[in-house]
Each structure stands twice: as structure tokens, then as C-alpha cells.
Amino acid sequence: MLWLRFAVASAAALIVLCPTLPRAEAETHVLFTEWQQADSMATLASVLDDWLDVWTDWPRREAAPHVRFVGAWQAAARQGATANFQRGRSRGLYDPNRSEVLLVRPCDPHEADDVAVLLHELVHHRQAPHHWYCPAAQELPAYRLQEAWLSEQGRAVDVNWLAVVLDAGCTPRDIHPE
């Protein structure tokens, strides 16, 4: 009989202490509409930086990066050192020398998938002052944060995790014995 009282008390405590689904949905909805209501790229970047302040240990930089839209050919021309780990169509780039985020058109600042690309590049802006063994090493944490943000929006990130993890290891490729 004692175990039954314990089970009932435990179940009651879980019901009271755990958030209910409607409350969790309401909190997500508030986050969802906040970024959608941004009236400029600067405001949108600030909202995303607020989210990153909570989710990452990399501090916000004093100056926000310049964000601009470019065509696919401009992005390909600027890709440079990151070309070895970019797969498929590039949707965004971060240039640490210019402190600049390039978002590849078409890009809709009211679409979660496109906003997640900006968030990913803002992570790189925070990572820039820190040492990385290779540029690809920055990708795994940036994709993980992008994944977390999209999850809050009820979306999934479309990433080849195997390729990202392998590239993030910074190991030489195509090694042949002499």
C-alpha cells in the first residue's frame, strides 16, 4: 500500500512540476513571432543574437556584422577557403576579414529556414575571434545551434551530419603513401 501512495504522489508531482504542452507551445509561439516581426535585418540579427546569448558561451561581439544579400555567383566567388567543405548550393557565408554576412538570394527574412541561415552565420561572427584548427571546425557547433533554433520553430535542419563531422575533424584528405 505504501508503494501505491508513493506512485500516486510521484505522478501528481510530475503533473504539477512539468510544463504542459499548451504552455510550451505558447512559449515557442512568442519566440516565433518575435523574429517574424523584425522590421529590418539589423533588428532580426539583434533578435537572433539575443537567442544566441542564451544558447552559447561565445559572447556577442561589440559590432554587429554587416548583412547583405548577394546572388549565387557572387557567393561562389567569395567562398574561397571555405570551398573545401561547402556542399550543394551555398545559402550564406561569413567573411571574418570584413565582418560581413552574405545571404544568398532568394532569401526571405520571414521564413524560418532562411532566418536559420542568418543565425548560422551570426554564430560564425561570434566564433571569429577564437582559434580554430581549420575553418571547417566551426561548422559543427554552428549547425548544432541552427538545429536547436529550427527545432524551437517546429522545423528540422537539412544537413549532411556525416560530412560536417568529418570536415570538422580537420584531417587531410586523399592521403597516399609515397
The tens digit of pLDDT for each residue in 3-36 reads 435 433 443 333 334 343 333 443 444 445 688 8
Burial class (CB in 10 A: 0-12, 13-18, 19+), 178: exposed
How many whole angstroms separate alpha carbon 99 and alpha carbon 56?
Answer: 19
Q: Quick check: is 119 in a domain?
A: yes
Q: Quick check: is 3 in a domain?
A: no
Q: Quick check: is 4 in a domain?
A: no
**Structural domain span for residue 109:** 24-168
Percent of the chain beyond pLDDT 70? Answer: 73
Q: Quick check: is 176 in a domain?
A: no
Q: What rounded mean pLDDT belongs to the chain?
A: 80
Q: Quick check: is 38 in a domain?
A: yes
How many whole angstroms separate alpha carbon 32 and alpha carbon 58?
Answer: 23
Q: What pLDDT, in 10s, does the model give residues 113-125? A: 999 999 999 999 9
Confidence of residue 78 (pLDDT cuts 50, 70, 90): confident
Q: Quick check: is 161 in a domain?
A: yes
Q: Are the CB atoms for 58 and 109 separated by under 8 Å?
A: no
Q: Quick check: is 19 in a domain?
A: no
Q: How many domains does the chain have?
A: 1
Q: Quick check: is 41 in a domain?
A: yes
